Amino acid sequence: MKDATPVLIDPTLFDRPGRILLTEAPDGLVWQLAAEFAAGRPKRDLVLVMRDDARMAAAADALKVHLPEAEVLRLPAWDCLPYDRASPNGMIAAERMDTLTRLAGGPAADDPKAGTGSRPRAIVVTTVNALAQRVPPRESLALARLRLEPGHRLSTERLVDYLMHNGYVRAGTVMEPGEFAVRGGIVDLFPAGEPDPVRLDFFGDEVEAIR
């Protein structure tokens, strides 16, 4: 961090280059200042680091209201340590992978490096603990993406191999993100970043419908 100063007495805060550390500011003011900072800058990606998960969630909700044109993403910290006996929470794992996969999709649309594969401008809200945790290489996330539409040809066996290789868990009934179930030509799947599971109807090796 290049600077740490009481924000309420510093009117030149937004004129400073580089990273900014806000101190002695109420949570609500931090969200408002972050929205103003993002709105007044070229439409580049922004990372807002909050103290804990509760403040991260509240900040993300507030930024979605103040900046509806931006893609506000949350990057929570793992709820367990490496090699713990307990497995990570499925919702946390899904949200982390959704955020990282979206960011791996390419530069923001208004970035000078953007091309035809650019994505919407993102505001990532995270925590100090999450920043200290390792993430997969961007290249591996980009290569692991799979997009399916009706009419695409892919056997259920290859789809199952892909899901297992990328950490999905086979279940009898899909209830949580990261689970999938297969019944004949029907595959139920709960992808990361989706509010509900989806159902893939196969006719042979062709995706006939997605519901």
Report the range of poorest mean pLDDT among 93-97, 126-130, 170-174: 93-97
Q: Which residues contact 193 (CB under 8 A, 6 or more apart)?
A: 94, 95, 97, 98, 101, 102
pLDDT tier for residue 12 given thresholds of 50, 70 and 90: low
Q: Would you state the pLDDT for residue 110?
A: 46
Q: From CA 51, how far away is CA 53, in angstroms rounded?
A: 7
For residue 15, is pLDDT > 80?
A: no
pTM, rounded to two decimals: 0.75
Query: What fold characterizes domain 146-210?
Result: Penicillin-binding protein 1b fold (3.30.2060)
| 47 neighbors 56 (Cβ within 8 angstroms) | no
Confidence at residue 27, expressed as pLDDT on a 0 to 100 scale: 74
- Is residue 33 within 8 A of residue 52, CB to CB? The reply is no
- Domain map (residue ranges) of the chain: 4-141, 146-210
Which residue carries 């309420």 as its tokens?
8
Q: What's the confidence (pLDDT) of residue 45?
A: 84
User: In this structure, what token pair is assigned to residue 206?
Assistant: 């062709």
pLDDT of residue 201: 96
* pLDDT above 90: residue 73: yes
Comparing 4-141 with 146-210, is the CATH topology the same? no
CA distance 165 to 78: 20
Options 3.40.50.1820, 3.40.47.10, 3.40.50.11180, 3.30.565.10; CATH of 4-141: 3.40.50.11180
The confidence score (pLDDT) of residue 10 equals: 53
Residue 178 has pLDDT above 70, yes or no: yes
Per-residue pLDDT at 156 exceeds 90: yes
